[in-house]
């Protein structure tokens, strides 16, 4: 383990055999020999490893040869070493100070070695998820783990996936990071770092609270059936309390929470089926939750199941859908099974009435169904037909798949909060699964928003027939009374800002991925400006409007503020300035004038954010006290120090020439004069041709930090970076 010169035997001890074959060094205990007296300051000899590649921190990466050694070591010491001394990785005190500090990493002696803990002294600072048969929640997909349980002891093996060189590091700040060698780019990538900044620290959300990391930022929430303990907001020190106290005596039920990192302080019960595990918790009124995993296909020895139960408070939970598991939470209320007797009594009484009613309805429905379908189609065409009054390019014969409001309600679980992917000024977006199994994203526009109606028109008109791999695809729309919904293709990785501005997630997008995103967005804009059958100005290009598919390919979304230009139009003006502060070009924000060069400016800001990993609205101390990110980038580039602008997460894996090329192009795009900015066709050419000559960018005037006086904000709704302006009157 990099960053740890020694392995100590201080508390907490590990009672059951722990083996940590973690890159770059293999840390393992030696067989017990005659015990000798050792001074308190003395430490164990640094752990040995099969050295195949030198590193800067006295370790070596895992290789296939090393991996084969791990199995034999695990087997050998598992048999002969029953009461192991603790094997602990200890961090350095500082970047250049190799003395030991208070942060260390080891197994938890009280939890059967089923998870890994970062300790701050004797207190946990971060805890991985419990091993579930394939991996531990919160640990990267690049490693796999295995538990061997022979009835006398348990030990764990965490190892690298086949063919991958890996490197772990516990630093002096208490963060553990993981790097994997990319054979294609011959660089190290950093897909994992914990706990970082946020609520991933141990117990940060308090009892019965959990850290939700499925959104674009981490936040504490209460488990279902619980509310903030102070009655107002979730206070991390107090956590959450039950909305309704448990009744016990068969009057409670268990609610399934999917995709969870299960809480700490569990009891491990051996040799149980799922039903037996559930019964263990159900019959004990003190049991608050349980979790189960079938390990029959994973383990080669020992108990083929993993039944965990919790007594009392649930602490240090996490919502981690990609690698989480089901947590069955005890809540007050009668379980569904107790309703069976009621059903048996009521059902015969109403059966005859239902049959008679059904027969009558069949006759009526046949007569009315044609009229209903005809009325719905008339309503839809009436709602969509008036779009031609706003857009000459509207195709009256445009057809959409017939997706009913009822189907969308069912697909999104009644537009439940757990299905919500995000929300903005015009409405909310939900994940849905149609009857045929197709996953979709459903945008439900605000009923009382005038701008929402206009956005609906724009989305339907502009992207219904646009076909480009870097534009999100509109699958259909639904009009139901005052409800207006848009149905898009579902993109599992959500938006770019989720990765770029989350310290724990940004390592997932290495430089090659970021460069591909930059080029993909540029090609999408070029299609809108030049290659589609109509010139389209997006007007709200930003990281949250760049969606990522399963392969991390970018797709431009949210055309609610877009405008169509005629063949002879080059620019237009408006008194309603819409967009997002920081991304808006100077001439647009101050004078309401927009053109294709307005999108070029937004693209330049986006490019600089991707390279640096910083927001355009970053505080002054983050950008070295410069007014904003653009000023920071320009001054570093001018002084020949552009490398310092690069996100440190990709600095080691990037190709420096490509990064400097992107910074240069970004500065060209954010020039104050629209005439000085390149067209997107030139931007695409410069991105594809590293040797292409590029003009020298002019110094920006840093306008984005200017402030409007309150009296000059007439009817405006504004916010910085995350939400869009809906109606800012021009000055």
Domain with CATH 3.30.200.20 in the chain: 341-490
Element (H, E) at 477: strand 474-480
Q: How far apart are CA 437 and CA 248, in angstroms?
A: 39
Summarize the annotated binding site for ATP as residue ranges.
443
What are phi and psi for residue 231, nearest 5 degrees?
85, -5
Domain with CATH 1.10.510.10 in the chain: 496-729
| Range with the poorest average pLDDT among 13-27, 130-144, 345-359, 369-383 | 13-27
Q: How far apart are CA 218 and CA 436, in angstroms?
A: 33
Which position has the higher pLDDT, 323 or 724? 323
% of the chain exceeding 70 in pLDDT: 63
Are 573 and 508 within 8 A, CB to CB? no
Beta bridge partners of 577: 728
- Residue whose structure tokens are 């590193």: 55
pLDDT band of residue 589 (cuts 50, 70, 90) is: confident
Residues annotated as catalytic (active site), given as ranges: 540
pLDDT band of residue 402 (cuts 50, 70, 90) is: low
Are 677 and 668 within 8 A, CB to CB? yes
Kindly give the pairing relationship between strand 483-489 and strand 474-480.
antiparallel
Are 181 and 61 within 8 A, CB to CB? yes
Summarize the annotated binding site as residue ranges.
443
| Range with the poorest average pLDDT among 120-134, 362-376, 707-721 | 707-721
C-alpha to C-alpha distances, 421 to 29, 138, 145, 416, 443, nearest whole angstrom: 47, 21, 31, 11, 10
Dihedral Cα 446, 449, 450, 451, nearest 10 deg: -70
pTM (predicted TM-score): 0.49
The answer to whether residue 51 scores a pLDDT higher than 80 is no
Q: What pLDDT digit, counting tens, does each position of 296-345 carry?
A: 545 445 556 779 999 989 999 998 755 678 899 999 976 544 444 444 55
CATH class assigned to 341-490: alpha beta
| Range with the poorest average pLDDT among 347-351, 392-396, 501-505, 506-510 | 392-396
The CATH number, out of the four listed (1.10.10.10, 1.10.3720.10, 1.10.510.10, 2.60.40.1120), of the domain defined by the range 496-729: 1.10.510.10
Mean pLDDT score, 339-361: 60
Q: What pLDDT digit, counting tens, does each position of 107-150 carry?
A: 776 665 567 889 888 889 998 887 665 455 555 555 555 656 65
């Amino acid at each position: 383990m990099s960053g740890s010169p020694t392995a100590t035997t201080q508390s907490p001890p590990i009672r059951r055999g722990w083996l940590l074959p973690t890159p770059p060094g293999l840390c393992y205990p030696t067989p017990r020999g005659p015990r000798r007296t050792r001074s308190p300051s003395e430490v164990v000899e640094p752990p040995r490893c099969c050295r195949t590649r030198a590193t800067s921190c006295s370790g070596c990466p895992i290789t296939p040869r090393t991996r084969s050694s791990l199995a034999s070591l695990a087997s050998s010491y598992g048999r002969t070493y029953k009461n192991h001394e603790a094997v602990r990785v200890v961090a350095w005190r500082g970047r250049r100070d190799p003395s030991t500090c208070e942060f260390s990493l080891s197994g938890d002696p009280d939890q059967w070695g089923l998870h890994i803990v970062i300790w701050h002294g004797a207190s946990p600072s971060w805890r991985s998820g419990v091993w579930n048969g394939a991996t531990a929640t919160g640990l990267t997909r690049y490693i796999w783990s295995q538990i061997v349980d022979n009835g006398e002891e348990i030990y764990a093996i965490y190892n690298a996936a086949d063919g991958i060189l890996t490197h772990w590091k516990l630093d002096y700040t208490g963060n553990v990071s993981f790097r994997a060698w990319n054979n294609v780019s011959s660089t190290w990538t950093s897909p994992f770092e914990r706990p970082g900044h946020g609520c991933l620290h141990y117990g940060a959300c308090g009892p019965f609270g959990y850290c939700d990391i499925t959104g674009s930022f981490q936040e504490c929430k209460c488990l279902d059936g619980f509310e903030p303990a102070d009655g107002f907001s979730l206070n991390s020190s107090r956590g959450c309390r039950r909305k309704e106290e448990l009744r016990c005596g068969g009057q409670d039920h268990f609610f399934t929470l999917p995709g969870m990192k299960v809480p700490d302080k569990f009891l491990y019960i051996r040799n149980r089926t799922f039903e037996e595990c559930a019964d263990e918790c159900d019959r004990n009124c003190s049991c608050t939750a349980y979790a189960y995993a079938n390990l029959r296909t994973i383990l080669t020895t020992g108990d083929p199941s993993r039944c965990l139960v919790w007594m009392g408070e649930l602490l240090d939970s996490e919502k981690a859908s990609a690698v989480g598991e089901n947590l069955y939470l005890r809540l007050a209320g009668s379980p569904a099974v107790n309703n069976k007797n009621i059903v048996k009594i009521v059902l015969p009484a109403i059966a005859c009435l239902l049959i008679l009613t059904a027969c009558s309805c069949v006759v009526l429905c046949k007569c009315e169904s044609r009229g209903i379908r005809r009325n719905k189609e008339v309503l839809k065409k009436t709602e969509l037909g008036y779009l031609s009054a706003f857009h000459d390019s509207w195709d009256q014969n445009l057809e959409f798949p017939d997706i009913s409001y009822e189907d969308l309600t069912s697909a999104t679980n009644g537009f439940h909060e757990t299905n919500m992917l995000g929300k903005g000024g015009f409405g909310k977006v939900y994940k849905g699964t149609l009857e045929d199994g197709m996953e979709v994203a459903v945008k439900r526009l605000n009923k009382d928003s005038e701008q929402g109606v206009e956005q609906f028109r724009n989305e339907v008109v502009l992207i219904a027939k646009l076909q480009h791999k870097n534009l999100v695809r509109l699958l259909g729309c639904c009009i139901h009374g005052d409800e207006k919904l848009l149905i898009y293709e579902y993109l599992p990785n959500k938006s770019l800002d989720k990765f770029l501005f989350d310290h724990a997630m940004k390592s997932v997008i290495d430089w090659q991925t970021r460069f591909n995103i930059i080029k993909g967005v540029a090609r999408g804009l070029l299609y809108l400006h030049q290659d589609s059958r109509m010139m389209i100005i997006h007007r709200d290009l930003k990281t949250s409007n760049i969606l990522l598919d399963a392969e991390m390919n970018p797709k431009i979304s949210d055309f609610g503020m877009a405008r169509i230009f005629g063949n002879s139009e080059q620019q237009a003006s408006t008194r309603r300035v819409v967009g997002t502060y920081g991304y808006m070009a100077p001439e647009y924000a101050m004078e309401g004038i927009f053109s294709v060069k307005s999108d070029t400016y937004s693209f330049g800001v986006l490019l600089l954010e991707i390279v640096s990993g910083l927001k355009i609205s970053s505080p002054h101390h983050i950008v070295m006290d410069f007014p904003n990110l653009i000023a920071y980038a320009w001054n570093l580039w001018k002084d020949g120090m552009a490398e310092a602008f690069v996100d440190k997460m990709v600095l080691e894996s990037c190709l420096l020439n490509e990064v400097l090329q992107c910074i240069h192009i970004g500065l060209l795009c954010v020039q104050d004069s629209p005439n000085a900015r390149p067209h997107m066709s030139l931007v695409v050419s410069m991105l594809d041709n590293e040797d292409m000559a590029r003009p020298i960018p002019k110094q920006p005037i840093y306008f984005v930090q200017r402030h409007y006086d309150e009296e000059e904000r007439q009817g405006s709704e504004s916010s910085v970076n995350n939400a869009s302006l809906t109606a800012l009157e021009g000055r």
